[in-house]
Amino acid sequence: MEATELVLKTMKEAGEPLNAGKIAELSGLDRKVVDKAMAELKKTGAIVSPVRCKWQPAE
pLDDT at 1: 76
Residue closest to 55 by CA, chosen among 44, 2, 46: 46
pTM for this predicted structure: 0.91
The CATH code of the domain that includes 11 is 1.10.10.10
Helix, strand, coil percentages in the chain from 3-state DSSP, rounded to 5: 60, 15, 25
Q: Looking at the 3D structure of the chain, how many domains does it have?
A: 1
Q: Residue 10: which domain range?
A: 3-57
Query: Would you say residue 57 has pLDDT above 90?
Result: yes
3-class secondary structure, 1: coil
Please write the tens of the pLDDT for every residue from 1-45: 799 999 999 999 999 999 999 999 999 999 999 999 999 999 999
Distance between CA atoms of 21 and 6, rounded to whole angstroms? Answer: 14
Task: Assess contact for 20 and 35: CB atoms under 8 A.
Answer: yes
